[in-house]
Amino acid sequence: MAKVGGLADVVGALPKYQNNAGHLARVVIPCYDTKFKKDNDFECVHWGTVKLGRFNFSFSVLKETTDKLGFELYLIEIPELFDRKNVYGYEDDIERFLSFQIATLDWIIGRDEMPDVINCHDHHTGLIPFMMLYSNKYQKLQNIPSIITIHNGLYQGQFGFDKLHYLPEFDLSHVNILEWDNCINSLAVGIKCAWSVTTVSPNYLNEINFSANGLETLFNLVRYKSRGILNGIDTEVWDPEKDKMLEKNYSVTNFEVGKQQNKEILCTLFNLDPSKPLFSFIGRLLEEKGGDLLPHAAALAMSENYKEINILILGSGNTDIENQLNSLLIDYKGNYNTFIGYNEELAHLIYAGADYLLMPSRVEPCGLNQMYSLRYGTIPIVRRTGGLKDTVIDFGDDGNGICHDQSSVGDICYSIQRAINLYQDKEKLNKIREKGMLTDHSWERVCQEYIEVYNLIIKKV
């Protein structure tokens, strides 16, 4: 329906597997103006008006009629606020997501059937646990457990107390709960008020106790109700044996031939040499992903290993980084190429055809790309941070990838040199690939961990 990053991957997969396990999971998101919305049928199941200070917005709750995603999908339609090109990034994002949260709760309290648990995700829904506990309007929801899942603690949804009147009426003796660092901090409010807090990897939970963009103290205070649950991947979508986006399907028993055929197609498309090791990057070209390091690291690696390696970049983000990466095409044509933008089919082909995947992230709460690459027999080269540390172990420690400790050009190039040396030892290379392909990162396992958390907080009712 809508996707910007890993949050969409989780919300698009976890409820499907929860339903497969015998539970009833429903998903509620804003009604974004996307191709999915235009191409599918919806029925209106509720309508009402959101009061936001002196503003009144009409809203409708639309249900996708076929449950084609594997769960019931409900869209909160507020045309004035969400009928736009992008998911977020607008000056009125506070008004947009606050109205979404209020409309969602207005709809829920009008239903005959109450949920057992409400699982909120990131700051965009961080005020829901507070409103459930303290808003006069939602007293019916006070004893329903809430959980907040943190995908990225860098973004917190702060706004000033001049917008306090947007919130439905509540006892002002609780106003201190909304405050963090002299403003209303949506993520902090959710962390304080939710019955349970989860992060998308165990190591990220450890990291945010020391580095969380100003919320370190709070995370330490709520550690007793927190749990790190490593994300999974949808193994039905990401399966090299059945993936329709690949030129040649393969499994763990014949990956050497299959990967080479996909690599040859990929290299033909981008004027690269399939006999050389192919290093790839897939993702957002941002500083938090180490994207700013890529132009210098790529240039240095290619100059130190002249005509011995290929590098292919797929991504978009910071315009300066995009321009720097494109400028390398002048000097390294035949060994280097870029695709600025995003293309799902191309991403699948790169996971299948590349030898290595670069992930020099400064921040990576979980990371899914390294799990996709492992499943497709492509060896991840990662910085030890967040979920990358939980999922990738250096091959020197009998692991499944290549790891370094710093987000630096030097560390990236040193890891690339190790990868070049490893590429010469095909037997060892293939054993590492096989180990990665056999790693279980399925949602079936992850689903059960979430169910455990739900059951624990339901028992407290």
pLDDT at residue 313 is higher than 90: yes
Phi and psi dihedrals of 106, rounded to 5? -60, -40
pLDDT at residue 41 is higher than 90: yes
Q: Residue 5: its pLDDT value, please?
A: 79
pLDDT at residue 193 is higher than 90: yes
Q: Copy the structure tokens of residue 142.
A: 């006070």
Query: Could you give the domains of the chain?
Result: 6-232+445-459 (3.40.50.2000), 254-441 (3.40.50.2000)
- Cα–Cα distance between 416 and 410 in angstroms, integer? 10
Q: What would the pLDDT profile of 119-151 be if each residue is shown by its tens digit?
A: 999 999 999 999 999 999 999 999 999 999 999
* Residue set of the binding site for ADP-alpha-D-glucose: 3
Residue in the structure block whose two tokens are 């996707």: 3
Q: Residue 112: its pLDDT value, please?
A: 92
Q: Residue 395: its pLDDT value, please?
A: 98
Are 1 and 29 a contacting pair, CB within 8 Å? yes
* Residue set of the binding site: 3
Q: What would the pLDDT profile of 366-425 be if each residue is shown by its tens digit?
A: 999 999 999 999 999 999 999 999 999 999 999 999 999 999 999 999 999 999 999 999
State the pTM of this model: 0.89
Dihedral angle sign, alpha carbons of residues 15, 16, 22, 28: positive
461 confidence band (pLDDT: 50, 70, 90): confident
Terminal Cα-to-Cα distance of the chain (whole angstroms): 34
